[in-house]
Chain A
């Protein structure tokens, strides 16, 4: 047997294709064609028989036609000259009496991705749009979008667009949805298909004819429609009520999103909607399809962000089943932790405890799983102190499963804070101290130091010796300076007396994750409604920001003055050279900010609240914000910092003020939601002067760009 795709094989196929006897016998010839297609499917290059295949396309046999058309779709771009020969056959087939053949030919014609094809496909597409068979119209409508894509940057054909808009009234439901899809692609530059009142109401009327794909997409298109009155809004909501109960999870999700977005000014309606999708969402969470179940769980978590405890009475639905994949178990655990309340805490903890020893198929997964559990325990302690007791009882069972630094840290932290109630705490910590030499993560050692010092304050007799050994190790043997410093610090702190040490160490606010937890509570629905039913909640907002961070950077950096990255340490802030750069910018911009315009915080707040936002922009950003650097940089261009969050706060915020010579105030808010995304800038102006505002923005951009440059 010849090797796939070698010249021999192609020559052999060519011979077979031009064999007159084979051509005469339909079945035999079809077999030859099948051989060609099979090789093509296997990735071999059989473009060498293109001419023969074009000839084979001139047939009445539909099966043969199909085979030939697939072949052409694959190789036309490689053989544009020969492909033009095929175009004729295809065009002729576009007026075949059978609608199946017409549709097939038109789809294949539009699928030939080769230069110069447009002039040949335009007429068949226009005919197709008016074809009496819906099958052909469906193909023709999407053909319009394909044609536009082939043409690239050329102007949009207004006549065609109008034709598509009128086809929204087509009888066939798939033609209707395809029209929306095609218009969306064709009009992308102008912001996509326009959904005005007649179109919106027409789509609402057709909703029940559509299949689940159509419904999901139409619901997404309707997001664009703004009802004129409250009455209309509620009419739409009641018309679409059935979609919330659809048997297709994707329709339920799309409908939920539409409801949340349309009712953005009616929090009560939003809450009501979320109550009503509870059932469908729970059903999706126990769906047979793991992937759908996963997507639903991610969305449940998003809802919980705004309505904590929303699913509390159904917490048992989120108990893990033994054979579920890790990604579902971990989502369920996150959900469980958020559903904990006074009544179910005991059951939830019992359940979580049983997961600690879960060793699923892979040991690695099991370990990570257990870590997540302990972290969840820690979060529980913060969220509801009354369950500490139960957590403490559960703790000793999971120390053996710890493998990874984060899990160890979480466990050590818990033992430190609540060790007085865990009888075995000093001995568990002792194990860690014994093995401290082989510990690779400084963070674990630091956590261990803090925990042991704390525990020592409550149970001195049991801990004194262990603590002594640990301190000795940290001060005398440890090579990591940060750990050593921490060791010395505690040593000196203890020298200052037990009471003093207690005062420093026993304030409960030492856990950094606390801030995060507090912030998460009660995010308004409108903050995430627009992201609902996209990939964002499936990834988690923070992960999504990281995934997409690089995309946003690339295209925008072009038009943005990025100061050359400075290698000087960020500590020394801005060098003289940079100051000049900034100075030049602010002056040449035609806007002079006066240096001594000081606003008090109260004045700022009052003015800020009385003004509307004049300009909102996003600046590219990555990493955390360094308040000192930013403040210094802003001072250089005479922008005063009124208030700023601490480094690492999430979201990070800053309020700025500046005044120009004419006395116009520029009040600015900077918001950095998560690291590695964009910085949101909102500017308010005391007098509306667009030109000055633009200059001000450009100054701000330059400053922030320079700061960004300094960091990297």
Chain B
């Protein structure tokens, strides 16, 4: 990829911190970034790739910051964007919130990190656990239960250092399924998919060998266990530590894990499932006087399960005023800055149906500009439950020192991009 430099800019385009990796492009080129961005935005032609002369700017926006990589080469765009997101991820691990303020407060750590993440425009070690060995400043976060780590002399694998030691050896496994849903105004489901991820948090000493067993349909068929209670995974993707050849051969998921948090694998399921929370809404607008909103929410999942932290955001006109609410359960709150009403329900048992009514006043003078029709968005979390029925059957941990390690498993289903269009 070869980036010339990496910049962190504030919202006005002023560089907060920068690192000139290659010295082939003038650092002053960044002054063209913001005017170019504004010009393109005005033309409605803004894209995450901008070019001034021979310098390409590939940029992402995070909170109130722009992260910009400049390059003179015809680079691989996905690689550059992935790297910038990695930078965000690493920074965030060092100081919780990555934003203008934290950049100013932590510029020494940032210098250190930028130094180690990339050299001469090429990504180097980006694993935050391994990076830690070279960072002298204490980040505000990054708690660790492990004892001293000797500097890496030679890594057998790039994602794990040798000589890691924990008093208590444990693995936490999170199976998370996100439901993406798009429902059209007429109530027909346009899009429904499940994106599953298995995330691990490992506190393991030495170089452990792990093996994960799932109720994978292909595996069950291979071993002649029939289709019972198995799940057909599509589009499975693994962290690079997983030995792909073994998976292809006999569907075994075996690996030496990185230390700490990482995403072991992801999969998708395209099978259509009943939307877990179904919303029916009537938004009636009486010009010059009022808006009446009626929202009905129904939990279409098993009675034993409970959805937590349910938040249903319903759009309201931007000139609405004097809100009045009535809910059968939970509470409704008007967020004028976002032009929505949020109806929150702390716990929503399966099979139940709830109702919210809202009433808004409208000014007698109608405003001129046309408004869009934002969708109703729903957020929720259902613990101890996966839509797909995926299960961790076992997790074997073998290390040459022979210690016993405990695996902990947690299942959760949550809303991803869950939207229902409104009339």
Contact = CB atoms under 8 A, between A and B. Distances in A.
B79 A216 contact: yes
Interface string A210-234: 1111111100100000000000000
A364 B44 contact: yes
Contacts of B85: 289, 292
B75 A535 contact: yes
B238 interface: yes
Contact of A62 (B77, B136, B240): B136
A359 interface: yes
B44 A365 contact: yes
Contacts of B240: 208, 210-212, 215, 246-248
Contact of B81 (A41, A289, A534): A289
Contacts of A217: 1, 79, 122
Contacts of B371: 359
A368 B44 contact: yes
A246 B125 CA distance: 19
- Range for the number of chain A residues in contact with chain B: 35 or more
A379 interface: no
A289 B237 contact: no
A286 B270 CA distance: 13
A547 interface: yes
A165 B1 CA distance: 20
Contact of A535 (B74, B112, B268): B74
B152 A134 contact: yes
A322 interface: yes
A40 to B, nearest CB: 10
A618 B159 CA distance: 46
Interface string B144-174: 0000000111111111000000000000000
B287 interface: no
B361 interface: no
Given A38-B107, A247-B266, A279-B235, A213 B123 contact: yes
B138 to A, nearest CB: 10
Nearest to B244: A242
B328 interface: no
B120 A172 contact: no
B180 A534 contact: no
B81 A326 contact: no
B115 A242 contact: no
B159 A211 contact: yes
B132 to A, nearest CB: 11
B54 interface: yes
Interface stretch (A249-257, A335-343, A464-472, A473-481): A249-257
B124 A138 contact: yes
B394 interface: no
B414 interface: no
Nearest to B137: A63
Please indicate which of the listed interface residues B74, B75, B159, B248 has the most CB atoms of chain A within 10 Å of its own CB.
B74
Nearest to A99: B151
Interface in A498-552: 533-536, 538-539, 547, 551
Interface stretch (A18-26, A313-321, A416-424, A598-606): A313-321
Given A132-B153, A171-B154, A181-B122, A113 B23 contact: yes
Contact of A213 (B56, B59, B111, B126): B126
B76 A534 contact: yes
Interface string A108-129: 0000010000000000000000
A365 B46 CA distance: 10
A322 B374 contact: yes
B208 interface: no
B82 interface: yes
A146 B120 CA distance: 8
B136 A547 contact: no
A321 B17 CA distance: 34
Contacts of A216: 1, 76, 79
A274 to B, nearest CB: 15
Nearest to B24: A149
Interface in A178-236: 178, 181, 208-217, 220
B83 A213 contact: yes
A479 B115 CA distance: 64
B77 A535 contact: yes
A536 B74 contact: yes
A296 interface: yes
Contacts of B56: 535
B246 to A, nearest CB: 11
A365 B60 CA distance: 20
A249 B82 contact: yes
Contacts of A139: 119
Contacts of A360: 372
Contact of A280 (B108, B122, B235): B235
A703 B15 CA distance: 50
B372 A358 contact: yes
B365 interface: no
Interface in A42-90: 43, 62-63, 66-67, 70
B388 interface: no
B238 A247 contact: yes
Contacts of A327: 46-48
A363 B82 CA distance: 32
A134 B151 CA distance: 10
A63 to B, nearest CB: 4
A593 interface: no
Interface of B: 1-2, 15, 17, 23, 42, 44, 46-49, 51, 54, 56, 58-60, 74-79, 81-85, 107-108, 111-112, 115, 119-120, 122-127, 133-134, 136-137, 151-159, 180, 182, 184-185, 190-191, 193, 234-240, 243-245, 248, 263, 265-266, 268, 369-375, 417, 419, 421
Interface of A: 34, 37-38, 41, 43, 62-63, 66-67, 70, 98-100, 103-104, 107, 113, 132-135, 138-139, 142, 145-146, 149, 171-174, 177-178, 181, 208-217, 220, 241-242, 245-250, 253-254, 279-280, 283-284, 286, 289-292, 294-296, 316-317, 319, 321-323, 325-327, 350-351, 354, 357-360, 363-366, 368-369, 533-536, 538-539, 547, 551
Given A171-B154, A366-B370, 12 more contacts: A66-B136, A142-B119, A174-B124, A216-B76, A246-B240, A286-B193, A289-B85, A291-B59, A291-B84, A292-B82, A295-B48, A319-B190
18 contacts: A34-B108, A70-B111, A107-B115, A138-B119, A145-B120, A213-B83, A216-B76, A245-B236, A247-B239, A253-B79, A289-B60, A319-B190, A322-B419, A354-B421, A359-B371, A363-B369, A533-B76, A535-B77
10 A-B pairs with the lowest CB-CB distances in the bound complex, closest first: A242-B244, A247-B237, A250-B79, A213-B123, A250-B78, A279-B235, A368-B44, A291-B48, A291-B81, A359-B372
